[in-house]
C-alpha cells in the first residue's frame, strides 16, 4: 500500500505543545482533492499542508486544508512545511518558494528563525454584524475588515479574557475568514486571538495569515515597521513582524512533534 511521509510541527514557538500544530505531507504528485480533504479531516489539526516538488529546484506547489475546507492562505502551516524541508528533507539553501493560490510565497531561513514573505491585506473600516457583537460579548473600540473581521480593543487583558459564545457566532458564515480580536500589547507590540465560526476548531492557536492585516494596521498605529506580536491563545505563539509595503514579513520558530507515514489506498 502506498505511504505518504507525514510530520507534525508546532509553529511559531520554541517549545513543544505550544504554538500552532500543523501536519505536513510530502507528496510526489497531487492526489484527488477529496483525498486531501479526507486526510486533513483524519488529522484533525488546525491545518494540514501538502506540497509537491516542481521542475525548478527550491520551488514547490503548496496547498492547505482545515478539517473542513481548503484555505487560500495559511501562515503557520507554510512555516511548518518550510521547517520540514529545511530540517528533515535536506534543503540546504537559505530560501525556498511555495507556489500557492495566493501567489508565490518565499520563506527564508536565518539560523533557526524562518520568515514568511506574504501579501499585505490592509483592512478598512466596517460595521459589525449584530451576531458577532452578541457572540463576542464586549464591544470593540474599532472594527475593520479584510478577509477577517478585526475587532480592536482598548486593553490586552480584554483580549485575553474574552469568552466568545460559539453557538451565537456559528450563526455567522465567514468562510474562509474569521474574527480577530486585538489590542496593543504590554510586553510586545500587539496581541491577538483568532476565532473561526462554524469550524470544528473554534479558536486557532496562532494565525500567521491574520497578521497580513494586523501588521499594516499596527504599523500605522504604532508608527513602527518592525514589531513583535503575541497570539494569546491557550498555547500562545510569538511572531516577528515587518511591514514591507505591499508585503509583510512574518517570522517564527518551529518544533517537530512527530514523524511517520500514512497509508492511503
Give residue 176's pLDDT band: very low, low, confident or very high (50, 70, 90): confident
Q: What letter would DSSP give residue 246?
A: T
Do 69 and 26 fall into the same domain? Answer: yes
Backbone angles phi, psi at 123, to 5 degrees: -100, 160
Give residue 175's pLDDT band: very low, low, confident or very high (50, 70, 90): confident
Do 134 and 205 fall into the same domain? Answer: yes
Do 129 and 238 fall into the same domain? Answer: yes
pLDDT exceeds 90 at position 1: no
Do 188 and 258 fall into the same domain? Answer: no
CATH number at residue 68: 3.10.310.10
Within 121-230, residue ranges assigned H as helices are: 130-136, 156-161, 166-169, 211-222
Do 113 and 217 fall into the same domain? Answer: no
Catalytic residues: 47
pTM given for the model: 0.95
Do 81 and 190 fall into the same domain? Answer: no
Do 107 and 130 fall into the same domain? Answer: no
Distance CA 27, CA 114 (A): 22
Do 155 and 240 fall into the same domain? Answer: yes
Residues 168, 145: contact at Cβ < 8 Å?
no
Q: Would you state the pLDDT for residue 265?
A: 81
| Contacts (Cβ under 8 Å, ≥6 apart) of 216 | 120, 121, 122, 123, 243, 248
For range 190-201, the mean pLDDT: 95
- What domain range includes position 72? 3-118+251-263
Model confidence pLDDT, tens digit, residues 205-240: 999 999 999 999 999 999 999 999 999 999 999 999
For range 102-119, the mean pLDDT: 97
Q: How many domains is the chain built from?
A: 2
Instruction: Cell numbers for 193, please give them.
Output: 486571538
Model confidence pLDDT, tens digit, residues 124-166: 999 999 999 999 999 999 999 999 999 999 999 999 999 999 9
Amino acid at each position: 500500500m502506498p505511504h505518504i511521509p507525514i510530520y507534525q510541527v508546532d509553529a511559531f514557538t520554541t517549545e513543544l505543545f505550544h504554538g500552532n500544530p500543523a501536519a505536513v505531507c510530502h507528496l510526489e504528485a497531487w492526489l484527488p482533492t477529496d483525498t486531501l480533504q479526507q486526510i486533513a479531516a483524519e488529522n484533525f489539526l488546525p491545518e494540514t499542508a501538502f506540497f509537491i516538488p516542481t521542475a525548478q529546484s527550491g520551488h514547490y506547489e503548496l496547498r492547505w486544508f482545515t478539517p473542513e475546507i481548503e484555505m487560500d492562505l495559511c501562515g503557520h502551516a507554510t512555516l511548518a512545511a518550510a521547517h520540514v524541508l529545511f530540517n528533515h528533507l535536506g534543503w540546504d539553501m537559505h530560501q525556498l518558494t511555495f507556489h500557492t493560490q495566493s501567489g508565490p510565497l518565499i520563506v527564508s531561513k536565518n539560523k533557526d528563525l524562518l520568515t514568511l514573505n506574504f501579501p499585505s491585506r490592509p483592512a478598512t473600516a466596517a460595521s459589525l454584524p449584530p451576531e458577532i457583537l452578541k457572540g463576542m460579548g464586549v464591544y470593540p473600540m474599532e472594527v475593520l475588515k479584510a478577509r477577517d473581521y478585526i475587532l480592536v480593543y482598548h486593553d490586552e487583558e480584554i483580549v485575553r479574557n474574552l469568552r466568545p459564545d460559539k453557538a451565537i457566532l456559528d450563526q455567522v458564515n465567514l468562510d474562509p475568514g474569521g474574527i480577530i480580536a486585538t489590542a496593543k500589547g504590554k510586553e510586545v507590540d500587539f496581541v491577538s486571538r483568532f476565532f473561526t465560526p462554524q469550524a470544528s476548531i473554534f479558536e486557532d492557536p496562532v494565525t500567521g495569515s491574520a497578521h497580513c492585516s494586523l501588521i499594516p494596521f499596527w504599523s500605522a498605529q504604532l508608527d513602527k515597521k518592525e514589531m513583535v506580536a503575541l497570539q494569546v491563545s491557550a498555547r500562545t505563539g510569538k511572531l516577528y513582524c515587518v511591514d514591507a509595503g505591499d508585503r509583510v514579513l512574518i517570522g517564527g520558530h518551529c518544533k517537530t512533534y512527530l514523524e511517520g507515514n500514512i497509508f492511503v489506498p
